[in-house]
Amino acid sequence: MLKKEFIITDLEASGKQEAIEELVRVLTGLNGGLNRETMVRVLLEREKLGSTGIGDGVAIPHGKMPGIEKMIIGFGRSKKGVDFNALDGRPVHLFFILIAPDNSSAQYLRVLARLSRMLKEPDMRDNLLKADSSEEIYSIIGQIDQMMD
* Residues with a known catalytic role: 62
Write the secondary structure of the chain as one string of H (helix), E (strand) and C (coil): CEEEEEEECCCCCCEHHHHHHHHHHHHHHHCCCCCHHHHHHHHHHHHHHCCCEEECCEECCEEEECCCCCCEEEEEEEEEEEECCCCCCCCEEEEEEEEEECCCHHHHHHHHHHHHHHHCCHHHHHHHHHCCCHHHHHHHHHHHHHHHC
